[in-house]
Amino acid sequence: MRPVLFILIFASMIGLGFWAYRENYATKDALDHVEALQSEIATLRESLTLQRAEWAYLNRPDRLRALAEANFDRLGLLPLEPTQFGTVAQVATPAPKLPFITDPVDVIGTQQPQEDFP
């Protein structure tokens, strides 16, 4: 009985050792992956900051003003004026929808042959 127990314990030791070895390497791989991801996040964040700065730089009021002036022929942009405020009353409301026609009426002039002409 005893030798069998020894063999079983020995085999399970080897099994556990193999499992621990694999887990160790899997953890190291995961950590490397995390590190790579974090450096990727850092790079992306850096480029995001740069692109935000670039966006702000390209949209600076001086440049937009100069562009509006340069492309006046095509765009015709002018500074906003107080007179451009409208009222709700000035907005044309859509025409009411026609009701469903159930009783068609002939709107083209027709002539009855027996009628007299004025």
Residues that bind another protein (CB under 8 A): 31, 34-35, 37-38, 41-42, 45-46, 49-50, 52-57, 59-62, 65, 79-85
77 contact partners, CB below 8 Å, separation of at least 6: 68, 71
Class of residue 56 by CB neighbours under 10 A (exposed 0-12, middle 13-18, buried 19+)? exposed
The C-alpha atoms of residue 84 and residue 109 are separated, in whole angstroms, by 47
In the complex, the smallest distance separating the C-beta of residue 20 from another protein, rounded to whole angstroms, is 19
Please say which residue, 3 or 79, places its beta carbon nearer to another protein. Answer: 79
Please say which residue, 83 or 93, places its beta carbon nearer to another protein. Answer: 83
Please say which residue, 8 or 28, places its beta carbon nearer to another protein. Answer: 28
Number of H helices, E strands in the chain: 3, 0
In the complex, the smallest distance separating the C-beta of residue 78 from another protein, rounded to whole angstroms, is 11
